[in-house]
Structures are given as structure tokens and as C-alpha cells.
């Protein structure tokens, strides 16, 4: 056990934009309770600069939270996307929906593609399972 265990992991504020992914969507068609759906859903895509700020490695888990919820998901470095420091991408799923605010201004439409979270390294904690979300 190293000294690092006792240090608080750095925490950053990010804006989340949700998106669709055909592989995750396919897994959803087969089973919403399957491992493939979980692995392709419990993910947050981060810019390289934000990964560096969090002092984590690509693929490690992070805690993503706000006043509406908290999930542990795998952090992945974005690939073909242009640099997007300060903005994170999450695939549309029960994991992202755990964090979408219920505020609508009475319009009936939540801000699915524009909400704020804080992200922090999860120090090896496992990603939240579908049965733990609710």
C-alpha cells in the first residue's frame, strides 16, 4: 500500500454531452441486463488533458457525480473526436440518466445533452452495475 492511498484523488468539473453508440444499442437489443450492455454503457469519454488532470490511466474507473446521482464508470480517452477539454461524452444509458437533472423549467424536456458533473478517480472501484443503479 503506497502513500498515494491516503491522498484525495483530484476532482474536476466537466460538462457532459450524451451521444448514441450503435454497439451499445445492439447490446441493449439483446439484453439490458447483459455484461456487454454494461461494459458499453458504463463509460465516460474524456479529453487527454482531463485524463492527465485526474491523474488516471485510460480505462481506469472514475466516480461521476452531481446532486442528482453518482455512478462509477470506466474513463476512456476519446479517439477521433477533436480536443474537448472540459467536456465529457457519455453514451445515452441508465448510467448517464442517473446524472441528468430533473429540472426542466416546466417544459417537460430535461437537459439530456448539457449537464454538469464532477469527476474523480475511483481508485480501482468497480463500475456501477445495472442492478445497483436503481
Interface with another protein (CB under 8 A):
15, 17, 19-23, 25-27, 29-34, 68-69, 80-82, 84, 87, 89, 92-94, 97-98, 100-102, 104, 106-114, 130, 133-134
Which residues touch 17 (CB under 8 Å, ≥6 apart)? 87, 88, 89, 90, 113, 114
- State the nearest-atom distance from the C-beta of 40 to another protein, in Å: 12
Nearer to another protein, 51 or 91 (CB): 91
- State the nearest-atom distance from the C-beta of 50 to another protein, in Å: 15
* Residue in the block written with cell 462509477: 72
What SS3 state is found at 76? Answer: strand
Nearer to another protein, 15 or 57 (CB): 15
Q: What is the DSSP letter of 120?
A: E
Nearer to another protein, 61 or 93 (CB): 93
Closest Cα partner for 16 from 76, 83, 99?
Answer: 99
Amino acid at each position: 500500500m503506497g502513500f498515494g492511498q491516503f491522498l484525495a484523488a483530484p476532482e474536476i468539473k466537466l460538462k457532459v454531452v450524451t451521444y448514441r453508440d450503435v454497439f451499445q444499442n445492439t447490446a441493449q437489443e439483446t439484453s439490458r441486463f447483459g455484461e456487454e450492455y454494461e461494459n458499453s454503457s458504463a463509460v465516460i469519454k474524456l479529453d487527454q488533458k482531463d485524463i492527465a488532470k485526474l491523474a488516471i490511466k485510460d480505462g481506469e474507473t472514475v466516480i461521476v457525480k452531481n446532486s442528482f446521482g453518482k455512478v462509477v464508470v470506466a474513463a476512456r480517452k476519446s479517439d477521433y473526436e477533436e480536443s474537448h477539454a472540459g467536456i465529457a461524452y457519455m453514451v445515452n444509458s441508465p448510467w448517464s440518466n442517473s446524472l441528468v437533472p430533473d429540472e426542466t423549467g416546466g417544459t417537460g424536456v430535461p437537459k439530456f445533452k448539457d449537464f454538469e458533473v464532477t469527476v474523480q478517480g475511483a481508485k480501482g472501484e468497480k463500475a456501477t452495475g445495472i442492478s445497483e443503479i436503481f
